[in-house]
Amino acid sequence: MEAAAGGAEPAGGCAGAPEEPVVSLADVLAENEELEKEARAVLGGSDHERCSYSQGAVKRQALYACSTCTPPGEEPAGICLACSYECHGTHKLFELYTKRNFRCDCGNSKFKNLQCKLFPEKGKVNSGNKYNHNFYGLYCVCKRPYPDPEDEIPDEMIQCIVCEDWFHGRHLGAVPPESGDFHEMVCQACMNCCAFLWAYTSQLAVPTVTKVTSLDDERIVLNVKETEEQNREIKKESGGDHQGKIKEEEQVEQYNEPSTSSGSKCPETVTKSDEPVCKLRELQTKQCLKKDTATFWPSNWRSKLCTCKDCLKMYSELDVQFLIDECDTVLAYENKGTSDQETDRRDPLMDTLNSMNRVQQVELICEYNDLKTELTDYLRRFADEGTVVKREDIQQFFEEFQSRKRRRTNRMQYYCS
């Protein structure tokens, strides 16, 4: 069977030609397999055949919540990728993207009418799991679904790397930098919990524009970076405290880390890094500004956080040890997914995916899952009948798929697979 090169690429220049360019099923399936490899890279190391329960709390995995099995009002539960396919294939699922330290709940005591097909012998509950409103399909401080049919303002959703909830860009207290300019975000609430991070902001964080949320005027914005520079200038000139502070000062409190033992120094010896002193304490001697905003961080910022004994203790008390673990990042997880496949192939599609934000990626994965299922079903008919798949058949499929997709996205819930 002679196949048009490149599978479904348009047959340029032969419009009206009597011969139908045809694509063999093998070609389509080969391309399908390529696509599947890429999608698996995005789904990271998540196993799509075996329930992840036996691995215990998985460091990071693709996770889903089933609105059919555990609707709002019931106890929240999360299920692994394989279970989303095998045990909840026809159910209404919320895509949670990835979460850390989670153990699959599929079929445990939270499920009244479902037995897991892949790993039925689970314990009653997973006490280490953390749940939030994402498991009911709600996101952000505004507790809205995504996509939100009542929200007409186009806005991207950004995941906080500490609480792993998703936030509207406009609900972070600061205008997010361009998505390519930062890698990770810590939300307002988590910045309050992890207040020590404010000491690192001037050195590490990506500068933002602060939204002044005075009740009368939400549109005024101040450039924080400039303001900080002004502050420094003013300080230099006047030698410290002064009158006539700028407007933003009211919103900015001088940052003081509540020190565990006042005035004590981080030990100079016990450090994992080569740094002889506590980086955090060093930074805290400089002026730190604490604002009520989310913060945005570049790649590899985690490795620049102090790892002295005192800081490690503090991370553990705050339950944020993952902050110094570059392998905890979504990027590391995705890279693992890629390297689990054939390794040394740089693909333009992966480059594109990496440059997309999380929401765009999730949408792509969901679209891909939909596409794969429907395309496979569609092609099976041709295989069963032993007929050749023509280009127009494929075109027709994609047109129908597009219109089905439009109908789907117009509906309330966010379907996956």
By beta-carbon proximity to Zn ion, the closer residue of 47 and 393 is 47
As measured in angstroms, the least distance from the Cβ of 152 to Zn ion is 14
By beta-carbon proximity to Zn ion, the closer residue of 140 and 350 is 140
By beta-carbon proximity to Zn ion, the closer residue of 69 and 197 is 69
By beta-carbon proximity to Zn ion, the closer residue of 91 and 405 is 91
Tokens of 217: 């005027």
Residue 95's DSSP bridge partners are: 64
Residue closest to 43 by CA, chosen among 91, 81, 89: 81
As measured in angstroms, the least distance from the Cβ of 137 to Zn ion is 13
CB atoms within 10 A of CB 48: 15
Residue closest to 106 by CA, chosen among 94, 97, 117: 117
Please, which contacts does 388-396 make with residues 24 or more away whose CB atoms are closer than 8 Å? 388/1, 388/22, 388/24, 388/25, 389/22, 389/23, 389/24, 389/25, 389/28, 390/20, 390/22, 390/23, 391/4, 391/8, 391/11, 391/20, 391/21, 391/22, 391/23, 392/20, 394/8, 394/23, 394/28
As measured in angstroms, the least distance from the Cβ of 266 to Zn ion is 4
Query: In the complex, which residues of this chain contact Zn ion (CB under 5 A)?
Result: 51, 66, 68-69, 80, 83, 87-88, 91, 104, 106, 116, 118, 140, 142, 160, 162-163, 168, 171, 187, 190, 266, 278, 280, 306, 308, 311
By beta-carbon proximity to Zn ion, the closer residue of 88 and 211 is 88
As measured in angstroms, the least distance from the Cβ of 272 to Zn ion is 10
Helix extents (H) in 18-86: 25-42, 81-86
By beta-carbon proximity to Zn ion, the closer residue of 96 and 104 is 104
As measured in angstroms, the least distance from the Cβ of 95 to Zn ion is 14
Mapped onto helix, strand or coil, the DSSP state of residue 36 is helix
Please tell me the distance from the alpha carbon of residue 67 to that of residue 401, in angstroms, as a whole number: 24
Give the amino acid at 68.
T
As measured in angstroms, the least distance from the Cβ of 359 to Zn ion is 13
> CA 367 → CA 34, 122, 292, 319, distances in Å?
15, 31, 36, 35
As measured in angstroms, the least distance from the Cβ of 236 to Zn ion is 28
Half-sphere exposure of 206 (CA within 13 A, CB side): 20
Q: What is the dihedral of CA 88, 94, 96, 97, to 10 degrees?
A: 80
As measured in angstroms, the least distance from the Cβ of 249 to Zn ion is 26
> CA 222 → CA 173, 207, 219, 247, 294, distances in Å?
12, 12, 10, 10, 15
By beta-carbon proximity to Zn ion, the closer residue of 88 and 290 is 88
Tokens of 44: 């990271």
- How many whole angstroms from its chain centre is CA 244? 43
As measured in angstroms, the least distance from the Cβ of 382 to Zn ion is 31
By beta-carbon proximity to Zn ion, the closer residue of 79 and 289 is 79
By beta-carbon proximity to Zn ion, the closer residue of 46 and 210 is 46
